[in-house]
Amino acid sequence: MKIDSARFIASATDLEACPPSNQPEFAFVGRSNVGKSSLINMLTNSKQLAKTSGTPGKTKLINLFRINNAWTLVDLPGYGYAKLSKQKQHDFNIHVSEYLNERENLKHIFLLVDSMLEPLDGDLAFAEWLQECGLPYSIIFTKTDRSSDAKVKNHSGQFLQGCEAWGLKPHNTYSCSAKTKQGRGQIMKWIESQLPKKKKGKTSPTINVGWMKKR
């Protein structure tokens, strides 16, 4: 998919504050510090679309970006940041759950998992929750350039084994690197396949009016 335009639309605290839209939305969610902002910038060929930070838990709002005036990329707050107060963690659970379950034009959810780490129960639990809610989701393993191929393969394999043990069936799985752009083509091609097909404009039949000559 060629990115002709990518622009920020709005930040929202909850579903009610999200601007109305009839365009398909694709949401990205994951544990704090999973590399979500860097991944979003890589996918959209932008350096500053999503603000990156070395501080976990920086994304606290639902951020929406319009891509090619055809679909919306949704950056959801990261979960699992221990330093957040219990109230803020509760708010996250409520607001993200509400958006994922009730946003009518939400097309798909990408759950980001850090390939540098061994499988975490929190990530598996989130995937389980998505499946129990009947929400379509795929897994993206991030930061694949920061570890050896063997370690990435081992960690992602363990996670997928955990999914199988938990009875989880993600739609797709991707291995990605914001630095090398690994996985970008696969993800964007799949998103493009889910967009409404553009209707071809009807062409009027050509009429030969040569006989319509004035006398």
Task: Give me the domain span that covers residue 111.
Answer: 9-194
Task: Note the pLDDT of residue 85.
Answer: 56
In a domain, 147, yes or no: yes
In a domain, 181, yes or no: yes
In a domain, 124, yes or no: yes
Structure tokens, 7: 């622009």
End-to-end alpha carbon distance in the chain:
57
- pTM, 2 dp: 0.86
Task: Note the pLDDT of residue 157.
Answer: 96
| Tally of structural domains, the chain | 1
Task: Note the pLDDT of residue 155.
Answer: 96
In a domain, 201, yes or no: no
List CB contacts of 160: < 8 A, sequence separation 6 or more: 139, 173
In a domain, 19, yes or no: yes
In a domain, 168, yes or no: yes
Sheet with 173-175, side-by-side order of all strands: 6-12, 62-67, 71-75, 25-30, 106-114, 137-142, 173-175
**Contact (CB, 8 A) for 102 and 18:** no
Phi then psi for 7, rounded to 5 degrees?
A: -140, 150
The per-residue pLDDT string of the chain (215 residues; one tens digit each, 9 = 90 and over) reads 899 999 999 999 999 999 999 999 999 999 988 999 999 999 999 988 887 655 444 567 899 999 999 999 999 988 875 455 566 566 667 889 999 999 999 999 999 999 999 988 889 999 999 999 999 999 999 999 999 999 999 999 999 999 999 999 999 999 999 999 999 999 999 999 999 887 665 544 444 444 344 44
Task: Note the pLDDT of residue 135.
Answer: 97
In a domain, 89, yes or no: yes
Domain CATH code at residue 83: 3.40.50.300
Structure tokens, 159: 């996670």
